[in-house]
């Protein structure tokens, strides 16, 4: 039997999401490490796996691929406790995953990228004030939602929590201060106490 194979960069939050779920599902997999800084994901061989040139990509059977971290999470989680059985709860999980990709990751992950992967005097640092403004807006939405609940959807740990945990817990890497978000910090601790939790590797 062929194991599912993940093409990813270990320190990327989007790739880590997939690894964390696979570990928590106790699914065996192969991990192919790619360093996006070398440009390898923009070369023809990888574009044949994901024409959008991004990691992670899941090779779910030999020569067949699925891209987009949150779509991969749904695919892997179907039939497990990490993907709700009720239609409305599934839609709420997706709501928070689309929130993550549209209103959260483009600010919190990009600030982390600029602060940890680019030289200290890189021109892109001028983007940081706007990234912080928008990222703090996303954190405020999360804080308000999490204040009365334990997890994002239906009082149970799901792939919505995995998707949002990845970059939120590492927000300080991009210059965010989580001290003012006590409900977010309590939720981070709950995620980290889940069975088979695996920490994300530090940025290189």
Is 99 within 8 Å of 141 (Cβ atoms)? yes
Is residue 80 within 8 A of residue 25, CB to CB? The reply is yes
The residue behind tokens 């390898």 is 40
Q: Could you say whether residue 166 binds a copy of itself (CB under 8 A)?
A: no
Assigned token pair, 79: 């039939």
By C-beta, is 101 or 116 nearer to a copy of itself? 101
Three-class SS state of 16: helix
Q: Which member of 72, 114, 164, 188 binds a copy of itself (CB under 8 A)?
A: 72
Of 25, 40, 117, 141, the residue at the interface with a copy of itself (CB under 8 A) is 141
Q: Which residues pair with 61 in a beta bridge?
A: 64
Which residues touch 107 (CB under 8 Å, ≥6 apart)? 131, 132, 134, 135, 138
Of 10, 55, 16, the closest CA to residue 164 belongs to: 16
Q: Considering the rule CB under 8 A, would residue 145 count as an interface residue with a copy of itself?
A: yes
197 near a copy of itself, rule: CB under 8 A: no
Closer to a copy of itself by CB, 57 or 191: give it: 57
Shortest spacing between CB 94 and a copy of itself, in angstroms: 4
Could you tell me how far CA 149 lies from the centroid of its own chain?
A: 21
Q: Which of 2, 26, 38, 52 binds a copy of itself (CB under 8 A)?
A: 52
Q: Taking CB under 8 A as the rule, does residue 144 contact a copy of itself? A: yes
With CB under 8 A as the contact rule, the residue among 19, 49, 90, 112 that binds a copy of itself is 90
Closest CA to 100 of 129, 122, 80, 74: 74
Choose between 25 and 194: whose C-beta lies nearer to a copy of itself.
Answer: 25
Binding residue for a copy of itself, selected from 60, 127, 190, 198, defined by CB under 8 A:
60
134 binds a copy of itself per the rule CB under 8 A: no
Give the CA distances from residue 190 to residues 46, 65, 118, 146, in Å, rounded to whole numbers and listed in that order: 36, 32, 32, 12
Residues that bind a copy of itself (CB under 8 A): 51-52, 60, 66-72, 74-75, 78, 87-88, 90-92, 94-95, 97-99, 101-103, 105-106, 141, 144-145
């Amino acid at each position: 039997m062929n194991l599912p194979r993940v093409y990813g960069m270990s320190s990327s939050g989007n790739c880590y999401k997939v690894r964390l779920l696979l570990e928590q599902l106790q699914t065996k997999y192969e991990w192919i490490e790619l360093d996006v800084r070398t440009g390898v994901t923009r070369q023809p061989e990888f574009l044949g796996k994901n024409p959008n040139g991004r990691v992670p990509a899941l090779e779910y059977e030999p020569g067949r691929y699925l891209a987009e971290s949150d779509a991969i999470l749904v695919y892997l989680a179907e039939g497990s406790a990490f993907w709700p059985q009720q239609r409305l709860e599934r839609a709420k999980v997706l709501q928070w995953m689309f929130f993550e990709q549209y209103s959260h990751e483009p600010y919190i992950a990009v600030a982390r990228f600029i602060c940890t992967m680019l030289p200290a005097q890189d021109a892109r640092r001028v983007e940081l004030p706007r990234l912080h403004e928008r990222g703090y807006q996303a954190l405020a939405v999360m804080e308000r939602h999490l204040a009365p609940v334990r997890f994002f959807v239906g009082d149970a740990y799901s792939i919505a929590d995995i998707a949002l945990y990845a970059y939120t817990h590492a927000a300080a890497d991009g210059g965010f201060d989580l001290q003012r978000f006590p409900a977010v910090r309590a939720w981070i601790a709950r995620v980290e106490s889940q069975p088979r939790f695996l920490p994300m590797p530090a940025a290189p």
